[in-house]
Amino acid sequence: MPSMEKFCTIEASLEMNVIGKGPGGMRIDFPFEGTATSEHWEGERPVKGVDYLTVREDGNMDLDIRATIGEKRETVSYSGTGVSIANPDQSADPKELITFHTGNEDLAWLNNEVGVAFGHGEGGTIALTIYLLKP
């Protein structure tokens, strides 16, 4: 039976850039910046990226995320796709499927991993926990 292993926790602040209504729904870009903590490195590492979000007709959201954790040679790039449930109190609960890319020798094993993230966002902030899927 597959399992999940905690990889990192991300806490970030969000900005909002409304692109407008398109054929798939209302497009809103959410640039974010924050920090990531993990047992795989010491201390906090910076996180920066954009969540390209489309609000569907049912009020929920399709997510397309591009981001980086770390800086310079320690950078891990990740991309994700997912959905987020819009709650009545204006908060959201994203669920994401994530892949990684890095040239960092210590974290190169991530290039062969798939992650899932669960989070909660409200009031211009988001908190995510990323897990790695294990056979």
Q: What is the mean pLDDT of the chain?
A: 96
Q: What percent of the chain has pLDDT over 90?
A: 91
- Name, in order, each residue with C-beta under 8 angstroms of 1's C-beta and a sequence gap of 6 or more: none
Confidence at residue 1, expressed as pLDDT on a 0 to 100 scale:
87
Helix or strand holding residue 114 (H, E): strand 114-122
Assigned CATH topology for domain 3-134: Porin (2.40.160)
Residue 2 has pLDDT above 90, yes or no: no
CA atoms within 13 A on the CB side of 61: 25
- Residue 61 pLDDT > 90: yes
Confidence of residue 25 (pLDDT cuts 50, 70, 90): very high
Please state the rounded mean pLDDT for residues 74-97: 94
Q: What is the mean pLDDT of residues 62-83?
A: 97
At 111 the pLDDT is 98
Q: What is the mean pLDDT of residues 68-72?
A: 96
Which of 1 and 76 is assigned the larger pLDDT?
76
78 band by pLDDT with thresholds 50, 70 and 90: very high
Six-digit token pair at 121? 């966002």
Find all residues with CB under 8 Å of 118, minimum gap 6, and list them.
Answer: 93, 94, 95, 96, 128, 129, 131
Strand partners, 98: 80, 115
Contacts of 55 (CB under 8 A, 6+ apart): 25, 26, 27, 28, 61, 86
pLDDT digits (tens, 9 = 90+) for 94-106: 999 999 999 999 9
